[in-house]
Amino acid sequence: MAISFAIMFGETKPSGKELLIGLVVPKLSSKTIKQAVGIVGCIIMPHNVFLHSALVQSRKIDTKKKSRVQEAVYYYNIESILALIVSFFINICVTTVFAKGFYGSDKADNIGLENAGQYLQEKYGTALFPVLYIWAIGLLASGQSSTITGTYAGQFVMGGFLNLRLKKWLRAVITRSFAIIPTMIVALFFDTEDPTMDVLNESLNVLQSIQIPFALIPLITLVSSEQLMGSFVVGPITKVISWIVTIFLMLINGYLILSFYTNEVRGAVVRSSLCVVLAVYLAFIIYLILRNTTLYSRLRSSVSKSS
């Protein structure tokens, strides 16, 4: 898929200068915020943050030797960075190909997962370059990858966070069922040609973006703890950049929710319910940030004394 879209990327001949400016200083209209947030959610995926952390435990390392741990961290960083670079490259190519080929045209409003391959075939396909089938294989591979990573993340959560010790086959059945059964229901009982499916897919990506802070904030807190990490605690520059990224994600999520609330939500009951959900979301994020801090300890002790 990377090779195919790299070829199409070359055929579109995009402006390198505009592409670089767009990467460094992206310009978005208010109408495209939802799509931008959805892209963030589908690329980062909160469960993958857990998965990348949990995969460190799959390495058989003598943790008593600092040099061995440093070596493992070094190679693990290389592995993760290479995977992210390939993913980043593919996403740039896909986005550029669609933007250059269809932006501003009458076809742009009609393109979805159901017919995107057909549009690509008409625009770039030849007898020797079956774009339609390459797109289909790419979607299948993407779906398999997402299902596998989601399943693995679920297994690590069950085995670690929830401390559930089940037989491997039973744990695999449970976690795979959570991933596959809803997908099978949608595939069998819903009309895939209906544009509502694209809206559903976009909404799921947006929900993933909203969940990212719940994965990033505990992770940043843990790796910033010298008591927990020892000499492997992250440096101040990494810590600051991580918090900036997390706060930025929270801001765009908040902006999207506010925009959705003002433009699309109707009715006092629905608006009140959304306000409650938003308040719980913000309260839990604040709790994650303040947890294990001096301020949190003082508040907790004062509440205990008053009760």
212 in Cβ contact with 222 (< 8 Å): no
Shared domain check, 200 and 93: no
Confidence band, pLDDT 50/70/90 cuts, at residue 257 = confident
Question: What are the φ/ψ torsions at residue 93 (nearest 5 degrees)?
Answer: -65, -45
Q: CB neighbours of 301 closer than 8 A, spacing ≥ 6?
A: none
**Residue pLDDT, tens place only, 160-202:** 766 667 777 787 787 778 777 887 887 787 776 667 777 777 8
> Does the pLDDT value for residue 111 go beyond 70?
yes
Confidence of residue 241 (pLDDT cuts 50, 70, 90): very high
Q: Report the percent of the chain where pLDDT is more than 90.
A: 1
Reported as a single tens digit per residue, the pLDDT across 11-45 is 778 888 888 888 888 777 767 777 778 888 877 78
* Rounded average pLDDT over 56-71: 81
Tell me what pLDDT residue 295 has. Answer: 61
Helix or strand (DSSP H, E) at 296: helix 294-306
Residues 8 and 129 in one domain: yes
Structural domain total, the chain = 2
> Is residue 144 located within the same domain as residue 51?
yes
| Dihedral sign from CA coordinates of 55, 57, 60, 66 | positive
* Average pLDDT over every residue of 274-289: 79
* Average pLDDT across the chain, whole number: 79
Residues 149 and 53 in one domain: yes
pLDDT of residue 49: 82
Of 98, 156, 178, residue with least CA distance to 131? 98
Identify whether residues 228 and 131 lie together within a single domain. Answer: no
Q: Are 229 and 223 in contact, with CB atoms under 8 Å apart?
A: yes
Among 71-85, 256-270, 272-286, the range with the most confident prediction by mean pLDDT is 71-85
- Looking from the CA of 28 toward its CB, the CA atoms found within 13 Å total 15
> Same domain for 58 and 127?
yes
Segment 205-229 shows an average pLDDT of 85
Q: Tell whether 188 is covered by a domain.
A: no
Segments forming the whole domain that contains residue 212 = 194-306
Residue 183 domain-assigned (yes or no): no
For residues 12 and 122, state if they share a domain: yes
